[in-house]
């Protein structure tokens, strides 16, 4: 009887230990959470920290992330320039038209990375990075460590923090420079405007 009670107690202890593991916040849950909104509007502040400069280079603007369309990255200061990032590539607004940019540039790679992160594309990210996730749905941290030789030449590590949506992205480069991107006032309450639909359709 005592042996049976001991086994029962052991089983209960094991189940109590396994329950939190079964409920742990994982990459698939994070992907589902980030992919849930159809459209996200928000503001961004980007700080580029260069070893040669005492102060970071700061740019500000707004963004529109639309499921099955891509990302509109609308830079407002220090200069005005609009970018459209889709699976087909990156385009820059030139007057009333969009001009496609070369896909080989470092900026293009960084923007594609932003799109994958904001859309919650963990499968795509896992092709190029080792992913380590900690936290819970309302407060999590995702660390990306490059896999490929090419990416290892550019990045040491990428840190992403968020809650319901991505809130902060930090890119640590091998040369000692870094970029910090803060997403602010993000909301999924508004659909695409006619102008935004037109920008994605072109």
Q: What is the DSSP string of 74-116?
A: EEEESS-EEEEEETTEEEEEETTEEEEPPTTSHHHHHHHHHHH
Provide Rg for the chain, Cα atoms. Answer: 21
More confident of the two residues 140 and 11:
140
Global pTM? 0.81
CATH class of 26-201: mainly beta
Going by their DSSP bridges, the two strands 155-162 and 139-146 should be labelled as antiparallel
CA 58, chain centre distance (Å) = 19
pLDDT of 9 higher than 50? no
Cα distance between residue 130 and residue 187, in whole Å: 29
Mean pLDDT computed over every residue of the chain: 84
**51-65, 85-99, 110-124, 138-152: which range is least confident on average?**
110-124
Task: Please give the backbone phi and psi of residue 95, each rounded to the nearest 5 degrees, phi first.
Answer: 70, -120
Residue with tokens 């006032």: 185
Predicted confidence band of residue 104 (pLDDT cuts 50, 70, 90): low
Going by their DSSP bridges, the two strands 97-100 and 57-66 should be labelled as unpaired
Q: What is the mean pLDDT of residues 84-97?
A: 88
**22-26, 66-70, 127-131, 159-163: which range is least confident on average?**
22-26
Angle at 14 between CA 10 and CA 16, to 5 degrees: 115
Q: What is the pLDDT of residue 136?
A: 95
Q: Report whether 175 contacts 24 (CB < 8 A).
A: no
135-175 pLDDT per residue, tens: 999 999 999 999 988 889 889 999 999 999 999 999 999 99
Domain extents in the chain: 26-201
């Amino acid at each position: 009887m005592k042996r049976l009670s001991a086994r029962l107690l052991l089983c209960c202890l094991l189940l109590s230990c396994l329950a939190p593991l079964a409920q742990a916040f994982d990459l698939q849950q994070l992907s589902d959470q980030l992919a849930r909104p159809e459209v996200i509007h928000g503001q961004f502040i980007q700080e580029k920290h260069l070893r040669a400069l005492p102060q970071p280079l700061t740019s500000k603007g707004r963004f529109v992330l639309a499921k099955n369309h891509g990302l509109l990255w609308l830079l407002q200061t220090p200069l005005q320039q609009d970018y459209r990032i889709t699976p087909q590539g990156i385009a820059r607004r030139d007057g009333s038209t969009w001009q496609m940019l070369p896909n080989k540039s470092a900026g293009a790679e960084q923007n594609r990375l932003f799109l994958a992160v904001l859309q919650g594309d963990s499968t795509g990210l896992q092709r190029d990075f080792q992913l380590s996730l900690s936290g819970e749905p309302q407060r999590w941290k995702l660390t990306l460590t490059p896999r490929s030789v090419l990416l290892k030449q550019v990045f040491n590590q990428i840190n992403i923090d968020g809650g319901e949506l991505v809130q902060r992205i930090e890119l640590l480069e091998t040369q000692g420079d870094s970029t910090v991107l803060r997403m602010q006032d993000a909301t999924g309450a508004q659909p695409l405007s006619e102008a935004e639909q037109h920008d994605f359709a072109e």
